[in-house]
Amino acid sequence: MKAYKKILTIQDISCVGQCSLTVALPILSAAGHETCILPSAVLSTHTAGFKGFTFRDLTDDIPEIRKHWEKENIKFDAIYTGYLGSIRQIEYVREIFDTLKKDDAVTFVDPAMADNGKLYPLFDLEYVEEMKKLAFSADYIIPNITEACYLTGREYKEKYDESYIEDLVGALLGSGCGNVILTGVSYDSTTTGVVVANETETKYYRHVKLPRGSHGTGDVYASAFVGAFMSGNSAYESAAIAADYTVKCIENTVDDPDHWYGVKFEPVLPYLIERI
């Protein structure tokens, strides 16, 4: 019997778009965990490609929800955060980290705020500063290279070598992150991979690079990583399982040009369950 954990995930509900909570909830459930959710905002769609999306910020609800859970003595084995809706909200999430963790709980922060060298539409450098406080306090941080650059003040480069990545990872570890899972690290045109690092060792999991990038794969990856890790796999095994699963999700989507906004992750869930 795999570990059955109580996980809280805090991120937005993009009603359409296969990202954030509509990805995290099914993936963590499929991984075999009780999955509690705290929606950071409700959007009609995600912000990467749809125009005129609605955005309902739920920041003001969070302190009351936290207080209620505290009164009910509800605590979590893991807290995993993704896209957060406002600067004040990040502060409230830090209070949740401080008050709702079980003694041996693990925290995971996917600083979902940027990609391809740019911040997502609703964010600015003030948001980045607040995200640093949350990210640097996490047991596991799961950024892509763009997010790692914003968090460390390093220049974003499309082409780089191993020493650039070593410096980036070293800067994240030096800022307080216990473990770094850096995604989308590619040294050639046919492969990409994930760096898994802590103070004592750094490993690289290399896998095939598919010609088409897809929206929402960061959320699929982070959710699969958290699910695999909380089931008892090591960080490196979890990073590999999540990478292989994400590749399969993209493979399952690339031949459908209409499905540009996310990946068809659902039919591939049996593969993830089998691997976990």
Separation CA 123–CA 65 (nearest Å): 25
Q: How far is the CB of 249 from ligand PXL (least distance, A)?
A: 13
147 binds ligand PXL, rule: CB under 6 A: no
* Interaction between residue 265 and ligand PXL (CB under 6 A): no
Q: 65 is written with which tokens?
A: 């929800």
Contact mark string toward ligand PXL, 72..111, x via CB under 6 A:
-----------x----------------------------
Given candidates 19, 181, 195, 228, which one binds ligand PXL under the rule CB under 6 A? 19
Judged by CB under 6 A, does residue 50 bind ligand PXL?
A: no
For ligand PXL (CB under 6 A), the number of binding residues is 14
**Nearest approach, Cβ of 86 to ligand PXL (angstroms)?**
12
Q: Is 193 in the site for ligand PXL (CB under 6 A)?
A: no
**Does position 143 bind ligand PXL by CB under 6 A?**
no
Question: Would you count residue 197 as binding ligand PXL (CB under 6 A)?
Answer: no
Query: Does residue 263 touch ligand PXL according to CB under 6 A?
Result: no
Q: Nearer Cβ to ligand PXL, position 119 or 269?
A: 119
The answer to whether 131 touches 110, Cβ cutoff 8 Å, is no
Which positions ≥6 away from 267 have C-beta within 8 Å?
252
The verdict on 48 binding ligand PXL (CB under 6 A) reads yes
Query: Which residue of 120, 156, 204, 271 would you call a contact of ligand PXL, by CB under 6 A?
Result: 120
Q: Which of 5, 33, 46, 132 binds ligand PXL (CB under 6 A)?
A: 46
**What residue type is assigned to position 6 of the chain?**
K
Q: Report the interface residues with ligand PXL, using CB under 6 A.
A: 12, 14, 19-20, 43, 46-48, 83, 112, 120, 216, 218-219
